Amino acid sequence: MPDVAAANDDVATPELMKAVSAAFNSRDVDRIVSHFTDDATFWLARGPEPVGRTLRGKETIRKTLAERFKVIPDMRWDHKEYIFAGNRAISVWTVIGKGADGEELNYQGCDIYTFRGGKISAKDTYWKIVENKDRL
């Protein structure tokens, strides 16, 4: 639930979200993690857990993103919309890129952010699953 009474430096703003998005699109891991709190949690869309994969702490996030960009060096997000609610924001996007294994990324998704002190304390990523099966 959004903290609508959040302190001003906790409030998600368009400028903050544009800076976060630009950092991710730069694929500069140090620039990206500069937007996270030291104790941040990042839930990836893919992984072995029902929530995808849980990354805890800035250093784990740094290491995982560095590995991801080695595998998908041209990964890029086209941000369509930002939605704001107190210290939370949603970014709606399309991600594209080509993995070293040949996987073509072209997914629609969103991130749900929680901010504390002007930095990301939580990021939860979701994206559409593209498959060639006839099922709902």
Q: pTM of this prediction?
A: 0.88
Q: Phi, psi at residue 51, to the nearest 5°? A: -90, 5
Beta-bridge partner residues of 92: 81, 110
Tell me what the mean pLDDT of segment 127-136 comes to.
77
CA 113 to chain centre: 8
CA 74 to chain centre: 16
Element (H, E) at 54: strand 52-56
Decide if pLDDT at 25 tops 50. Answer: yes
C-alpha span between 132 and 115 (Å, rounded): 37
CA 68 to chain centre: 13
Q: Looking at residue 4, what is its pLDDT?
A: 47
